[in-house]
Chain A
């Protein structure tokens, strides 16, 4: 079972849900893989504290022109949809940050003067803690594109009984890349007007991808009714509600796991785990 934990709005509790779910599953002796696909700002390591096994760079291919062979025909500039390779004057300029690694320039060059060379954009880290196999992608600061890093991260992750994908916030291409291939998505929300509005956007996005989803209401309190009503109207089930407790917020601020400090939270996460597992 591959489960994605996403949200529209940031800060609703994706990492809280993903890491605590991983912890309770590992304690039940299941083989659990946790993927931190929020490669711009990963936080899973703060709570899980894995022992690092290896680190590897993520590279993307970008063009390199052999100036001896190049005759400045300009076709590479014509095929490039991103202005990343620009024949101009007596040279061919390359803007690697604009390159999408489509390979078009190399294919089109009639003189085979273009090679693709690796450019480092991120680091992958693998670790392990208390039965959870942990994987993280970390985008280099200044790099713009997350999806290639998320793809690389997904490629190194092994199969397991339970693979938990901790997705980035939002509704655009990084989230789509992270949850693509998941059997199910849990959308984590908070019962505020912003949370509600962004939940609708997230439901539209996951709906577009055709992946079944359920909702987890975090910091649920007296304001939850509007959220429950939205779920009813979209025939989306609520998989769990996590109460709003200052003690949990304080524990989170210290990097502690909710299931370790609050027995009621532990019970709720165990129930959520069994609910996920029992569904077809």
Chain B
């Protein structure tokens, strides 16, 4: 069973569109939408729900007004400025609260309870391309990294149980907690970037991350024809850093048309960017099966 994660460093480079096309090309796979802040894969792969579950991210402190003596110890000790107000108005701001439990531990009147924080929901669904796990984090939700880890574990478990070879993971932009949780233990990371200075800068940082965790990587340059000189710079940098080059995808209005239609690009058209995507998938598949690049 192989796990492929598609990330980008910079946002908006085309990860989700690519994952949807890979799902269509891969036969049956387990799909995991780990971009839990802004999940979009479901708009194209059209899952039908099987089950939904609460996601408890951590704890949150709640002050019981009846037991509170207004001593202010909690406000003084809180490192996250999450407790403010006076007398009956003293309350915990649940968005600022980190759930560390210090206030509850030291409250002289034991007036603070540390309760489970429901930060969102996750779903098991089925799609034409295979089972899918995805989630919705509540607005201003925390612990997105934990939610990603949960989705990864579920996806692995489904792949094991149903003997499905491939897990396709749609990741999120950046290099922080949710991205780290997306890539650890993966067999291959595919970085989708764009031929811009911003894309180049962010690509270098995200490869720094894959190298930090010693995970093999490849890169694909999307909308490469916007700037062919920068495209070459990305590919040269990739080669210097030990990242494989999976290919290039041209700018094509069909990409948005497919999105509007709610279908993977490779089902919407067969030429233009769609044929570039097919080539990229072939190279990714070959790398996975041949043991490919190791950073």
Q: Which residues of A contact B (CB under 8 A)?
A: 8-12, 15, 38, 40-41, 43, 46, 79, 81-82, 100-104, 107-108, 139, 141-146, 168-174, 176, 190, 192-194, 197-198, 201, 204-205, 207-209, 223, 246, 249-250, 252-255
* Residue in contact with A81 in the complex, picked from B59, B176, B196, CB distance below 8 Å: B59
Query: A141 and B98: CB pair below 8 A?
Result: no
Complex contacts, B202 vs chain A, CB 8 Å: 41, 43
Known: A103-B102, A139-B176, A173-B144. 5 other contacts (CB 8 A): A40-B205, A141-B212, A209-B140, A254-B227, A255-B196
Instruction: Name the contact of A201 in the complex, choosing from B11, B38, B77, B259 (C-beta under 8 A).
Output: B38
CA–CA, A254 and B144, complex, Å: 33
A10 nearest CB across to chain B (Å): 1
Q: Which residue of A lies closest to B101 (CB)?
A: A81
Cross-chain contact A101 with B174 (CB below 8 angstroms)? no
Cα A31 to Cα B204 with chains together (Å): 33
| B10–A10 CB distance below 8 A | yes
A174: B residues at CB distance < 8 A: 174, 176
CB of B256 within 8 Å of the partner chain: yes
- Assembly CA distance A15 to B199 (angstroms): 13
Number of contact residues on B: which range applies?
Answer: 35 or more
B172 at the interface (CB under 8 A from A): yes
Determine how close the nearest CB of chain B comes to the CB of A173; give it in whole angstroms. 5
Q: In the docked arrangement, what's the CA distance between A173 and B194, Å?
A: 26
Beta-carbon contact of B99 and A173 below 8 Å? no
In the complex, residue of chain A having the shortest beta-carbon distance to the beta carbon of B144: A172
If A201-B139, A205-B139 touch, whether A253 touches B95 (CB-CB below 8 Å) is no
In B93-109, which residues have CB < 8 Å from any A CB? Answer: 95, 98-102, 105-106
Which residues in A have their C-beta under 8 angstroms from that of B196? 252-255
Which of A79, A194, A207 has most chain B Cβ within 10 Å? A194
Determine if B176 and A46 form an interchain contact, defined as CB atoms under 8 angstroms apart: no
A250–B95 alpha-carbon span in the complex (Å)? 40
Q: Which of A141, A172, A176, A249 has the most CB of B within 10 A?
A: A172
B58, A81: Cβ atoms closer than 8 Å: yes
Residues of chain A with a CB closer than 8 A to B270's CB: none
Query: Please, how many angstroms separate the alpha-carbon atoms of A277 and B107 in the complex?
Result: 45
Query: Using Cβ atoms and an 8 Å threshold, which residues of chain B touch A101?
Result: 79
List of A residues within 8 angstroms of B172 by Cβ: 10, 170
Find chain B residues with CB under 8 A from A194 CB: 16, 40, 43, 259
Contact check, A176 vs B100: say whether CB atoms are below 8 A apart: no
With beta carbons under 8 angstroms apart, the residue of A102, A144, A253, A254 that contacts B79 is: A102
Q: Which of B141-167 contact A (CB under 8 A)?
A: 141-142, 144-145
Q: Which of B38, B198, B208 contacts A171 (CB 8 A)?
A: B38
B242 proximal to A (CB < 8 A): no
Interface presence of B216 (CB below 8 A): no
Please report the C-alpha to C-alpha distance between residue A197 and residue B37 in the assembled complex, in whole angstroms.
11
Chain B residues with CB under 8 Å of A81's CB are 58-59, 99-101, 114
Closest to B141 in A: A172
Q: Which of B37, B105, B212 touches A104 (beta carbons < 8 Å)?
A: B105
Whether A11 contacts B260 by the Cβ 8 Å rule is no
* Contact among B145, B198, B262 for A46, CB-based, below 8 A: B198
Separation in Å of the B252 CB from the closest CB of chain A? Answer: 13
B96, chain A: closest CB distance, angstroms: 8
> Are A144 and B180 touching (Cβ within 8 A)?
yes
Max chain A CB contacts within 10 Å: which of B101, B196, B226, B227? Answer: B196
Are A10 and B95 closer than 8 Å at their CB atoms?
A: no
Q: How far is the CB of A42 from chain B (nearest CB, A)?
A: 9
Check A171–B37 contact: CB distance below 8 A. Answer: yes
> Given A11-B10, A81-B58, A253-B197: A40 and B175 within 8 A (CB)?
yes
Closest to A8 in B: B38
For residue A172, which residues in chain B have a CB less than 8 angstroms away from its CB? 36-37, 137, 140-142, 144
Given contacts A46-B201, A108-B105, contact A11 B212 (CB under 8 A): no
> Would you call A104 and B259 a contact (CB within 8 A)?
no
**Which residues of the other chain, A, contact B105 by a CB distance below 8 angstroms?**
79, 104, 108
Bound-state Cα–Cα, A140 to B137, Å: 26
Quote the shortest CB–CB distance from B51 to chain A (angstroms): 22
CB contact list, B179-210 vs A, under 8 A: 179-180, 194-199, 201-202, 205-206, 208-209
Q: Mark B226-240, 1 if CB is under 8 A from A, else 0.
A: 110010000000000
B139 partner, pick from A12, A208, A246, beta carbons under 8 A: A208
Q: Are B140 and A11 in contact (CB under 8 A)?
A: no
Pick the most buried of B58, B174, B259: most chain A CB atoms within 10 A of its CB.
Answer: B174
**Nearest Cβ distance between residue A171 and chain B, in whole angstroms?**
5
B102 touches which of A15, A104, A204 (Cβ 8 Å) = A104
Task: Decide if A10 touches B141 in the complex (CB within 8 Å).
Answer: no
Distance (whole angstroms) from the CB of B245 to the closest CB of chain A: 19
Tell me whether B177 is interfacial, beta carbon within 8 Å.
yes
Which listed residue, A9, A204, A254, touches B12 by the CB 8 Å rule? A9
- Would you call B3 an interface residue if the criterion is a C-beta within 8 Å of the partner chain's C-beta atoms? no
Report the minimum CB–CB distance from A150 to chain B (whole Å). 11
Could you list some 14 contacts between A and B, CB below 8 A?
A8-B38, A10-B38, A41-B202, A43-B10, A102-B100, A144-B180, A145-B177, A170-B173, A170-B174, A171-B141, A197-B40, A198-B38, A205-B139, A250-B227
